Amino acid sequence: MRRLTGWLFDVYAHGDDVSVWLIDDDGAAHHLRDRLRPSFFVGGSAAELRRVCEWITRARLSARLARAERYDVFAHRQRVVLQVQVQIPAQYAAIVRRVANTFPTLDLYNADLSPAQFYFFERNLFPLAYCQVRVDDTRAILEITTDDSRWALDYQIPPLRVMFIQLEGGELNPNHGHRAPLEITCDSRAYVIATHDRRQVVERVRDYLLRFDPDVIVSRWGDSFILPQLLDAARRYRLPLPLNRDSRCSPVMRPARSYFSYGRIIHKTLAHTLLGRWHIDLENASLLDYGLEGAIEVARLTQQPTQQTVRVSTGTGISAMQVSTAYRQGYLIPFHKSEPEEFKTASALLTGDKGGLTYQPIVGLHFDVAELDFASMYPAIMARFNISPETIHCRCCPDARVPEIGYTICRRARGLVPETLAPLIEKRMAYKRRLKQAAGEPQKEFDRRRAAAHKWLLVTCFGYLGYKNARFGRIEAHEAVTAYGREVLLRAKDIVEARGFRVLHALTDSLWIRKRGTPEAEYARLAEEIARATGLPIELEGIYRWVAFLSSRVNPHAGVPNRYFGARCDGELKLRGIEARRGDTPKFIQKAQLELLAAMTSARTRAELAARLPHCLEMVAARVDALRAGQVPLSDLAFTYRLSRDPQAYATNTLNAIVARELAGRGVKLNAGESIRYLITDYTAAVPSDRARATEFWDGSWGYDVERYTEMLLRAVETILLPLGVHAKMLQGWLAQELPVQPLRARMEDKRAHEYLGPLFEWSNRSVASIRSHIAACPQSSRGGG
């Protein structure tokens, strides 16, 4: 017997046991095994359960049967069920499938957990927990414990050896035709395998794997291209390829799939996960804005293996956390649940089915604005008011009612959802508190990423509560949350208005308010007062030097709730709904907008903003010059578009359809939900296929459409400058006067150019005072509350 300490790196079923990988303090990997007997439950009448017992016995399935009693959350009572304890963990999924297919009308519970989840739940462990282990001479675990906690703010991550693998020119999609030598980076050194001989490629990759023995393989397009190609070549030439650390098994492959989520189609490519080693494909990972540190935090919290965590949505993560709570409390975990919405009167539906309150902002530029945000409002409501599928319509608490809709909520028993969320909210708040205090930069970045990961988990928990097929979803619970949300926002609005503030904008859980000359301390007092009145924490998100709420492009008189930008007093920019935030906008245009905004950030008044306009226009001119001179890197001009259907299903000749057809014509198999990247070559070309080209097939014989890119650039510039009264026509007129051969400064000082810009731009012969007077004369709609 010996003792080991280290981080729990990987767990999976193999043979009669589970394989457990531990990485010790020196970075050495240890392959251990442990015993696990996962159980699922079958619900039905006594006669039905008897039939199941008989069938399992006759079928000689490797399972032990027992009568058990477990709590059914939706029935609000203990239920007698048949416990099927699977003796070989690797057979668990197959046995569940056989029982489900043979008895399709019976209810199954705890029937779709992975062996790793069972292991974590049974041993009270989680991925990357720092463990103490006792093992025997055969490497069988005798005891495994941890002092580590999922809720610990500070924890160590093991010293992981990372190998990066991609094709040269990594951003280009090899599934869409890009071909280049394989590039492997390890220990800060890059190795290029520049050969077309597939046998040699496999041999070299094998050599690097044996030489560096990485814990993690990070790749670009590894799931869908590099690993399948390597495995195929290894099979063909009968070469060993130790992608797994566990040489007994092959990498686990999961087929590609497309599905709808939040109104859009998502495509998940083929996935390859490894055993005893991680594979993370950056092109197939949901790392959002939190990166690998955040993904590790999500894996620890949700008790899902890291390789799965990065390949599923955060919604699956929050669902896994609820499953963990239910398992701990001995509740039955529904397998295929379908909880239909209960019948309601038309009037009750009108009252309940409203969602959050979304005000229209007062369009224009506003100065000295404060933003107050309820911290994780919906999850906080669930935790504070005990909203959970099993606590709604409580019969024992007739007096505890949801505002507006009047549903009763249990006050005696803590709900499963609040039980899951409360520590998560607390942990996020703790990180946010630390972020506000001065800390070292690396630590701050860790905290930021972990808090961002929590944010995504908390955001999705609300959607899952209202999803009838979610294990612990119930529409009435979802309605209760939004009803509390509306009540809380209106109370907050009443309070700020009573204190003399003007509400410029309000959006579900945040308020933008303004009162001239308000000191920061008053905002803090206001937040405290609102928190007292509503029972929910609210924070001063920031004070803005200026914020611009933009109008709709269709109706310029109307505001749009989610299209604004502003500069905080701490210099940070906040952008929503503008081109710089959109994933499909070319980087060139994003950079142009960010550059303009950076130049405007420090301005405190309308006159100061106007004084920066000449500099802003110089920057725009420089961008146009670069476009015309062909100096913009092509990667910065590429549009990214997610296909909403199969290429042949497009009826019109949009650029997306043209490029999708081009790729399909070249033999690339595209699926709905996949992304394509392309450049505009000639937007007005008579032949549709000349209008745009996929980046992977852009061979240099085509130029890009300078006019079209200039037009799009000016449109993006208009978004930023419109609150100051500068629209695209003004900018086009000004550019029409440009002479590309003249030096920039000379052009800016050419009076003829100014004629096209209106009085605001005649800065060269006007004082700031005259600009101020011009702005004062601007119509109210463009000045807002300034």
3-state secondary structure of 271: strand
d(CA 504, CA 514): 7
As given in the structure block, the two tokens for residue 673 are 């939900």
- Backbone φ and ψ of 422, nearest 5°: -55, -50
Least distance to another protein, CB of residue 553, Å:
13
Residue count of the chain: 786
Q: Which residues pair with 370 in a beta bridge?
A: 513, 543
Q: Kindly report the number of other CB atoms within 10 A of residue 438's CB atom.
A: 7
Min CB(32)–another protein separation in Å? 42
Closest approach of Cβ 555 to another protein, in Å?
5
Give whole-number Cα distances, 341 to 469, 479, 570, in Å: 11, 11, 47
Output the smallest distance, CB 349 to another protein, in A: 6
| C-beta closer to another protein: residue 247 or 780 | 780
Closer to another protein by Cβ: residue 241 or 470: 470
Q: Closest separation between CB of residue 489 and another protein, Å?
A: 9
Place of tokens 């092959």: 250
Nearest to 17 by CA among 125, 146, 138: 138
Q: Which residues of 643-663 are buried (b: 16+ CB within 10 A; e: fewer)?
A: beeebeebeeeebbbbbbbbb
Q: Which residues contact another protein by CB under 8 A?
A: 341, 346-347, 349-351, 353-355, 357-360, 463-464, 466-468, 473, 478, 486, 490, 506, 555, 557-559, 780
Cβ 83 vs Cβ 66: under 8 Å: yes
**421 burial via Cβ count (<10 Å: 0-12, 13-18, 19+):** buried
Find the helix or strand (DSSP H, E) in which 453 lies: helix 441-465
648 or 780, CB closer to another protein? Answer: 780
Instruction: Find the shortest distance in angstroms from Cβ 477 to another protein.
Output: 12
Minimum gap (Å) between residue 557 Cβ and another protein: 3
- Considering the complex, state which of residue 348 and residue 599 has its C-beta at the smaller distance from another protein: 348
Output the smallest distance, CB 417 to another protein, in A: 15
Q: How far is the CB of 354 from another protein (least distance, A)?
A: 6
Closest CB to another protein among residues 480, 596: 480
CA distances from 554 to 54, 179, 474 (A): 67, 43, 37
Nearer to another protein, 355 or 633 (CB): 355
Cα(419)–Cα(386) distance, rounded to whole angstroms?
9
Q: Whole-number minimum distance, CB 378 to another protein, in Å?
A: 13
501 close to 515: Cβ distance less than 8 angstroms = yes
- C-alpha 273/C-alpha 779 separation (Å) is 60
Looking at the Cβ atoms of 547 and 694, the one nearer to another protein is 547
Q: How far is the CB of 348 from another protein (least distance, A)?
A: 11
Shorter beta-carbon distance to another protein: residue 354 or 661: 354
Closer by beta carbon to another protein, 89 or else 361: 361
When the beta carbons of 8 and 480 are compared against another protein, the nearer one is 480
State the amino acid at position 658 in one-letter form.
I
Encoded amino acid at 125, one letter: L
Q: Are 544 and 567 contacting, i.e. CB atoms less than 8 angstroms apart?
A: yes
What string of DSSP letters covers 595-619? HHHHHHTT--SHHHHHHTHHHHHHH
Query: Which residue in the block uniquely carries the two structure tokens 């009838």?
Result: 468
Smallest separation (angstroms) from another protein to the CB of 357:
5
Neighbours of 262 (CB within 10 A): 9
Burial (0-12, 13-18, 19+ Cβ within 10 Å), 393: middle
95 CB contacts (<8 Å, ≥6 apart)? 61, 62, 63, 84, 86
Beta-strand ranges (E) seen in 334-462 are 364-374
Q: Which is nearer to another protein, 92 or 464 (CB)?
A: 464
Residue 730 and residue 749: Cα distance in Å, rounded?
16
Single-letter amino acid code for the residue at 699:
D
Query: CA gyration radius for the chain?
Result: 30
When the beta carbons of 568 and 783 are compared against another protein, the nearer one is: 783
**Nearer of residues 75 and 558 to another protein, judged by Cβ:** 558
Maximal CA-CA distance, the chain? 97
DSSP 177-211: T----EEEEETTEEEEE--S-HHHHHHHHHHHHHH
Residues 218, 721: Cα–Cα separation, whole Å = 41
**CB of 782 within 8 A of CB of 364?**
yes
Is residue 450 within 8 Å of 299, Cβ to Cβ? no
Q: What's the rounded Cα separation, in Å, for the pair 207 and 122?
A: 39
In the complex with another protein, the residue whose CB is nearer, 49 or 405, is 405
| d(C-alpha 220, C-alpha 253), whole Å | 17
Q: Min. distance of Cβ 238 from another protein in angstroms?
A: 50
CB of 452 to another protein, least distance (A): 23
Give the nearest distance from C-beta 164 to another protein in angstroms. Answer: 38
* Identity of the residue, 349 or 396, whose beta carbon is nearer to another protein in the bound complex: 349
Q: Please, what is the minimum distance in Å from the beta carbon of residue 373 to another protein? A: 17
Residue 349 or 439 having the CB closest to another protein: 349
CB of 466 to another protein, least distance (A): 5
Closest CA to 377 of 573, 541, 264: 541
59/776 with CB nearer another protein: 776
